[in-house]
Structure 1
Amino acid sequence: MGRHLSGTGRREMFSRRAVRHDRHGRSGRSSVLRPPLRPLGGRVDLFDVSVAAAADYLRDAYPSELGEVSFGIAGMPSSSSHDDGIDRWSIDRERRQIVVYRVPIQRLIRLHIDDSLHRRMAVESCVFQAAAEYLGLDPWDLDPGGFGPL
């Protein structure tokens, strides 16, 4: 006859976790580092990274003019003054702040090739245009190298 276990004994028998040992007789170890961060793949994540990269580049290129300027990201503008009625960015010189609006940039800009590279370039273009407007320059004048040969 088989052995009959009471309810608690049976739970204890099945709830024990198997202990694994490696070839040196040690139990399994957890990783030293945290699990890796989730990959950037969403539109919002890539938008944020693109804005931050363009802002860092511009701050490095114009440290005295843009070094203290904060670049922010918002979903939608509260007012409209762009040609098609929806702003892509806003500038507040008193607060030294440029705010880029994610939804109008992602939804209203038409790309000839819709891939991650061209989406990133469109976001960076808007950041450059906003910074140029803040500085009172033409966006093409922002590159300190003058877009010359490498």
Structure 2
Amino acid sequence: MRRRVRAAARPDRHGRHGRLDRSSVVRPPLPAIETRAEKFDLTVTTAVEFLRSAWPELREVRFDIGWMPEAADDDGIPRWDVQSEQKRIILFRLPIERLARLHHNDDLHRRMMIESCVFRAAAEYLDRDPWDLGPDRFRF
């Protein structure tokens, strides 16, 4: 009569099928995906912070981000709405992003286009030329 020898139990360091150093099934958590809306908000916020630090008249102005204007005007679809009485500027994200004619479609040019809209809206509020708002910002 033969005796069967039982195999020894595998140590804990082995993964399934006896392989060493198996990776876990679930990946490590990935960073949150940055959406276009989040990038737009960040670009507007940084431009507004710069303008408020340079122009005290803008410190009490509320900058809001809207999706779309309610209606088109004689010039087409507006990119922003300046409400001087309420001390409010509304920037419309979809027209700014979708109707832009960028000569290079990359993050840098999109950011510059969004910043230019913020500057032009603030200049309209202050009744000044946009280039007067940050002359040192554009000098090299």
Report the TM-score range of the alignment, normalised by the length of the smaller protein.
0.7 to 0.9
- Take 2:126 and 2:49, find their aligned partners in 1: how far apart are those partners? 16
Report which structure shows greater RCO (CA 8 Å, sep ≥6). Answer: 2
Structure 2: unaligned runs, 5 residues or longer: 1-28
Q: How much is the aligned-residue C-alpha RMSD, in angstroms?
A: 2.1
Matched, 1:60 2:53: yes
Residue 51 of structure 1 corresponds to 44
Q: Quote the Cα distance in structure 1 between the aligned partners of 2:35 and 2:58.
A: 28
Give the TM-score normalised by the residue count of structure 1: 0.69
Normalising to structure 2: TM-score of the pair?
0.73
Q: Deviations over 1:83-128 (max 9, x none)?
A: 2x10000011111000000000011011011011111111111000
Distance 1:145 1:82, change over 3 A: farther
Unaligned runs of 5+ residues in structure 1 are 1-34
SS in structure 1 at match of 2:69: coil
Q: Aligned ranges for residues 19-34 of structure 1 at < 5 Å?
A: none
Structure 1 residues 135, 75: closer, same or farther in 2, change over 3 A? same
Distance 1:37 1:68, change over 3 A: farther
- Correspondence for 2:120: 129
Query: Alignment length, in residue pairs?
Result: 113
Question: Counterpart of 1:42?
Answer: 35
Rounded to whole Å, the distance in 1 between the matches of 2:91 and 2:82 is 9
Q: Distance in 2 between matches of 1:50 and 1:112?
A: 19
Q: Percent identity?
A: 51
Q: Partners in 1 of 2:93 and 2:59 — Cα distance?
A: 23
Query: How many Å apart are 1:81 and its aligned residue?
Result: 2.4
Q: What is the deviation of 1:66? A: 0.2
Query: SS of 2:82's equivalent?
Result: strand
SS in 1 for 2:72: coil
SS at 2:136 equivalent: coil
- The CA distance in 2 between the partners of 1:119 and 1:66, in whole Å, is 24
| Corresponding letter in the other structure for 1:61 | A
**AA matched with 2:68:** M
Cα drift, residue 82 of structure 1: 5.8
- Which residue number corresponds to residue 134 of structure 2? 143
Per-residue CA deviations over 1:7-47 (Å, capped at 9, x if unaligned) read xxxxxxxxxxxxxxxxxxxxxxxxxxxx89724x2111101
User: Can you list the C-alpha shifts for 1:57-90, whole angstroms capped at 9, x where unaligned?
Assistant: 1111102x1000010000000122262x100000
